[in-house]
Chain A
């Protein structure tokens, strides 16, 4: 699965897509693949603060839990409610399925993240 060039990535396998000042955050294909069938998503509430590199929730498979780490600092503006009943979307279309949207405190933070090529090199190394 291709890694969209307009996204930025973390070493914890989250992606972020910036539209204006709002970042949509999801997990990468690599992440969903290593986790297996996702059965539950624990996401924050609208209005909650998130902090760069801090956990904002988790995704669960049958026998594993993986923390979600925020790529940026900001405030949650939307939560993907669809995932409550269809967490498998994260398996099927990981790069089209956002988990939360965040209003960024400092859009310049994105510069510190990996671009698609760097991320692909990173996961090649990991596996």
Chain B
């Protein structure tokens, strides 16, 4: 039995108190036989005896699921929810993760019955509405990226990387040699090398130059006839635009290698610059970063892959096509006077899936992608329009630079290059006092903020990677800056306070060593 006395009294100094101090046991511990939270309608067909019908494959021991009433379930999950931090509570400055506001109209439209209840194998004739949504999103994303062809199928960023590198591989194979290696800068996300390995490539590390960017000399040296591609994040993980991007593409292309762009940081580019215009051959987007679909505590995401025309034949199946016998497909509304939906396609001009793609890399998942996320992303694009998308990017970059200007006197800036949508400091000054980035991050929680990204990218020792996104008001930014400045003072004056943080959360620092040494990965009945 747990009581309030078991929870240590904790100071609540923060702006946001994102947790109530209720105890809430596991569902299984709250269960009591005979409780019900459901009622099935009466069976309108003859009942069957499962044991007779199934014989030896009949389940005789039920799974140990909880038995609860509806109110208990509502309270259980509502209480759990109060133990989470969220964008809805405050700033979430996780660098590289683009934790922006998730508009609520997106949630509403994704649940419209005709879209949410559509079975993936329903005839194309009954799916024209959702296919149009997919088609419209594809067109918008092609315009935003400046690329020629796209697949929306990948379920998340890493899955997009996988799909993109498969396109690279398939193209090289069509040229007679799949090649052997992928170059990856040392500042890259861990998914990049993991993806290259899954696609059968060896990973060759590319050392960053003194500005945290691509070292052109090293690149020239390392690119050879066995290099399939460079996986580049642009802006880089330190938030810097590769101004030599055209030269990088040129060096790669001269040796027949391709340029893959990890689009994790597209929030710095939308409406301002397009990868298709600066030499990128293939890239992925993260709809859950740039296009506002919710992170949901770790997914679902969506990782569309856009490419240049020469890679189009290799796209995964199926590919969305206009009914081939129809000509003059309706144009997507372009001018400001038009509305989406003004152009009703003629009945003969059906959208449908094409599976007849002899050069395709194959299928990367069942069905067509995380369609629920497509709906949300398109709703976001519609809400913004061209001006809103551009302003969004400008505000994201403005916010990051504002934080940089207000903190660079007290946190060391390892790379002085101009920042775009995120800024990376190091803990050098604080570490000299014995306080590290991870500890500063935990102390930030006490001030009502989610920590920034800790210890990444790896080219910065003790990194503090801060991405405010466009969703933060000046007031929120100033509070964050004040918190960071206060913590810096605490590092000088009361370092123990920082090192033992957080002090205001429902649980204090958790023992990760014990969790890993003796993993308990599930509840088990003990009596």
Residues in A lying within 8 Å of B, measured CB to CB? 37, 39-40, 60, 62, 87-88
Stretch from B135-143, B250-258, B476-484, B511-519 contacting the other chain: B511-519
Report the bound CA distance from A60 to B519 in whole Å. 14
Report the bound CA distance from A87 to B513 in whole Å. 11
Report the bound CA distance from A39 to B515 in whole Å. 9
CB distance from B480 to the nearest CB of A (A): 26
Identity of the chain B residue whose Cβ is nearest the Cβ of A39 in the assembled complex:
B516
Interface string of B486-527 (1 = CB under 8 A from A): 000000000000000000000000001100110000000000
Residues in B lying within 8 Å of A, measured CB to CB? 512-513, 516-517
User: Which of chain B's residues have a CB closer than 8 A to the CB of A60?
Assistant: 516
CB distance from A2 to the nearest CB of B (A): 26
User: Which of chain A's residues have a CB closer than 8 A to the CB of B516?
Assistant: 39-40, 60, 62
Q: Is the interface of A mostly helix, strand, loop or mixed?
A: loop
Report the bound CA distance from A62 to B516 in whole Å. 7
Report the bound CA distance from A40 to B513 in whole Å. 10
A–B pairs, 12, beta carbons within 8 Å = A37-B513, A39-B513, A39-B516, A39-B517, A40-B516, A40-B517, A60-B516, A62-B512, A62-B513, A62-B516, A87-B517, A88-B517
Report the bound CA distance from A114 to B517 in whole Å. 32
Given A39-B516, A62-B512, 10 more A-B residue pairs with CB atoms under 8 Å apart are A37-B513, A39-B513, A39-B517, A40-B516, A40-B517, A60-B516, A62-B513, A62-B516, A87-B517, A88-B517
Report the bound CA distance from A60 to B512 in whole Å. 13
CB distance from B203 to the nearest CB of A (A): 15
Most chain B CB neighbours (cut-off 10 Å) among A37, A40, A60: A37
User: Which of chain B's residues have a CB closer than 8 A to the CB of A39?
Assistant: 513, 516-517
Identity of the chain B residue whose Cβ is nearest the Cβ of A91 in the assembled complex:
B513
User: Which of chain B's residues have a CB closer than 8 A to the CB of A37?
Assistant: 513
Identity of the chain A residue whose Cβ is nearest the Cβ of B513 in the assembled complex:
A37
CB distance from B193 to the nearest CB of A (A): 13
User: Which of chain A's residues have a CB closer than 8 A to the CB of B517?
Assistant: 39-40, 87-88
User: Which of chain B's residues have a CB closer than 8 A to the CB of A87?
Assistant: 517
User: Which of chain B's residues have a CB closer than 8 A to the CB of A62?
Assistant: 512-513, 516
User: Which of chain B's residues have a CB closer than 8 A to the CB of A88?
Assistant: 517
User: Which of chain A's residues have a CB closer than 8 A to the CB of B513?
Assistant: 37, 39, 62
Report the bound CA distance from A31 to B7 in whole Å. 37
User: Which of chain A's residues have a CB closer than 8 A to the CB of B512?
Assistant: 62
CB distance from A17 to the nearest CB of B (A): 26
CB distance from A86 to the nearest CB of B (A): 9
CB distance from B472 to the nearest CB of A (A): 29
Report the bound CA distance from A87 to B517 in whole Å. 8
Ranked nearest first, the 5 interchain pairs of A and B with the lowest CB-CB distance are A39-B516, A37-B513, A62-B512, A39-B517, A62-B516
CB distance from A117 to the nearest CB of B (A): 30
Report the bound CA distance from A118 to B6 in whole Å. 53
Report the bound CA distance from A20 to B512 in whole Å. 41
CB distance from B197 to the nearest CB of A (A): 15
CB distance from A97 to the nearest CB of B (A): 15
CB distance from B408 to the nearest CB of A (A): 28
Report the bound CA distance from A88 to B511 in whole Å. 14
CB distance from A127 to the nearest CB of B (A): 14
Report the bound CA distance from A88 to B513 in whole Å. 10
Identity of the chain B residue whose Cβ is nearest the Cβ of A88 in the assembled complex:
B517
CB distance from B374 to the nearest CB of A (A): 35
Report the bound CA distance from A60 to B513 in whole Å. 11
CB distance from B436 to the nearest CB of A (A): 12
CB distance from B427 to the nearest CB of A (A): 16
Identity of the chain B residue whose Cβ is nearest the Cβ of A62 in the assembled complex:
B512
